[in-house]
Chains A and B, each alone.
Chain A
Amino acid sequence: MWGFYLQNLLDSLPFFFKGLWVTVQVAGLSLAIGTVCGFMLGIARAGRVRALNFVLAVYVDLIRGTPFLVQIFIVFFILPEWGIQLEAFSSAVLSLSIYGTAYICEIVCGAVQGVPNGQREAAAASGLNWIQQMRYVVVPQALRPILPPLVGQYVLLIKDTAVVSVIGLTDVTRVGWLTVQRIPNGILVFGLVGLLYFSICYPLVWFSNRLEGRLTVEDNTL
């Protein structure tokens, strides 16, 4: 039986690669949008405008406090009730971007606040305006601490794209779900799905581990 299923599965490989391409598109777009918005909001949040801080804090809490599944349901099922019609792909990118922005905003804000205040003061004392202080002095120094958690967050976001399959977008997870109806062997089918995600995510996990300078297995023992 396993041999037969495996043969069948190999025949459906093109279908899986198509799904993977959808996953890559959704992930790429929403990561790009999330990174740009996350940086802008994160830097803004590190500033001292209280009203803005409050609004951003509420936004971040709302996103971090609810499952992404619920968020995508809200975007997909409720926006149309208010007259905003979005197809599955746009809904997926929109909800993932809103979601990713919140997490990236927190990472950026934390790192920017971690730059010693004297740096900003020195820049202010020589006449740089707030944007220049951030652009040339604070943010370049924050990049190094931002990078490891940012790459880690990218991995989490790429994996969260699997959830967009529930609104009917044929990403690689949904391809698996459709295939398992035809080839009733979840181990093989979702083993393949897992392998495809692994091939995208693991290089990033590895890179993130390197960035954090973690020790290798051999180097530390109890």
Chain B
Amino acid sequence: MIRFNKVNKYFGDLHVLQDIDLNIAPSEVAVVCGPSGSGKSTLIRCINRLETIQSGEIFVDDLAVHDRATDLIRLRTEVGFVFQQFNLYPHMTALENVTLAPMKVRKTPPTQARELGLDLLAKVGIHEKADAYPAQLSGGQQQRVAIARGLAMEPQIMLFDEPTSALDPEMINEVLEVMIQLAKDGMTMVVVTHEMGFAREVGHKVVFMDMGQIVETASPDKFFTNAQNERTLLFLSKILSH
């Protein structure tokens, strides 16, 4: 479903992705973790070409992401994206945030888009806040709207870039529950997160990155109980100790 083949990316002199190889199968949930600055956010931003790569190949289904000729709009409608900082449009209501892309990109008629939007908001559990503006919502509610927005184009894949890192602790669970439900429904997901409970419950594989490289890829069971690499162990000792 998603395939990285010897991907390299630089920010100036900084080699942020080094020879990345990665395969993610349909309906697989991959959790990407690692210390800050390890390149994990960059990795998933490459999947829908919010970042461009300098060498290597990335495929989403049959779409060659690295190829400039690839239809970017088609790629992005196949892939939903949820940001750490939500990035909701402040001048639109929750519902309008969700329905903008269906109406403008897919030309869904307004009434139908509205139905779709309300369905999605119901799915993430904030049906009643459809007409609220982002500033009137809590962080957890905003992020759930953002997930609904990501789902609005009926994507094959959902990408999450640290979706709970900007949230207060008591709001993390409401967002994770939505994500867990999504995973159980069979969505292909790549999630950058340190929420190891989430990884254990629905993750199929954990990808550990450090300094621009994938250090270790393992199933959650193996990753937590039987990690091989000492950099992984060090990282685990840090995040599990609190």
> B85 at the A/B interface (Cβ < 8 Å)?
yes
With both chains docked as a complex, state the minimum distance between the C-beta of A195 and any C-beta of chain B, in angstroms.
40
Q: Which residues from B are CB-within-8-Å of A123?
A: 89, 100-101
Which of B48, B104, B150 is the one whose CB lies under 8 Å from A132?
B104
Q: Is the CB of A125 within 8 A of B91?
A: no
Q: How many residues of A contact B (CB 8 A)?
A: 17
Against B, the Cβ 8 Å flags (1 = close, 0 = not) of A128-167 are 1100100011001100000000000000000000000000
Q: Is the CB of A128 within 8 A of B104?
A: yes
Q: Is the CB of B90 within 8 A of A141?
A: yes
Q: Which residues from A are CB-within-8-Å of B76?
A: 124-127
Those of B74-106 within 8 Å (CB) of chain A: 74, 76-77, 79-81, 83, 85, 87-91, 100-101, 104-105
Q: Which residues from A are CB-within-8-Å of B81?
A: 122, 125-126
Query: With A118-B83, A121-B50, A121-B83 given, is the CB distance from A126 to B89 under 8 Å?
Result: no
With both chains docked as a complex, state the minimum distance between the C-beta of B93 and any C-beta of chain A, in angstroms.
13
> A90 at the A/B interface (Cβ < 8 Å)?
no
Cα distance A118–B83 when bound, in Å? 8
Q: How many residues of B contact A (CB 8 A)?
A: 25
Across the interface, name the chain A residue whose C-beta is closest to B81: A125
Of listed A122, A136, A140, residue having the most chain B CB within 10 A: A122
Q: Which residues from B are CB-within-8-Å of A8?
A: none
Cα distance A140–B48 when bound, in Å? 25
Across the interface, name the chain A residue whose C-beta is closest to B78: A127
Query: With A126-B100, A127-B77, A127-B153 given, is the CB distance from A118 to B85 under 8 Å?
Result: yes
Against A, the Cβ 8 Å flags (1 = close, 0 = not) of B51-77 are 000000000000000000000011011
Which of A116, A125, A129 is the one whose CB lies under 8 Å from B48?
A125
Q: Is the CB of B73 within 8 A of A140?
A: no
Q: Is the CB of B90 within 8 A of A127?
A: no
Cα distance A213–B80 when bound, in Å? 40
Against A, the Cβ 8 Å flags (1 = close, 0 = not) of B149-160 are 110110000000
Which of B85, B88, B105, B146 is the one whose CB lies under 8 Å from A128?
B105
Cα distance A129–B149 when bound, in Å? 16
Query: With A118-B85, A140-B91 given, is the CB distance from A126 to B50 under 8 Å?
Result: no
Q: Is the CB of B91 within 8 A of A141?
A: yes
Q: Which residues from A are CB-within-8-Å of B149?
A: 122, 126
Cα distance A128–B153 when bound, in Å? 11
Q: Is the CB of A137 within 8 A of B101?
A: no
Q: Which residues from B are CB-within-8-Å of A122?
A: 81, 83, 87-89, 146, 149
Q: Which residues from B are CB-within-8-Å of A12?
A: none
Q: Which residues from B are CB-within-8-Å of A126?
A: 76-77, 80-81, 100-101, 105, 149-150, 152-153
Q: Is the CB of A136 within 8 A of B100?
A: yes
Against B, the Cβ 8 Å flags (1 = close, 0 = not) of A100-126 are 000000000000000010110111111
Additional 7 contacts, C-beta under 8 A, given A122-B89, A126-B150: A122-B83, A123-B89, A124-B76, A126-B101, A126-B152, A132-B104, A141-B90
Going nearest first, the 7 A-B pairs with the smallest beta carbon separation are A125-B81, A122-B87, A126-B101, A118-B87, A127-B76, A127-B77, A127-B105
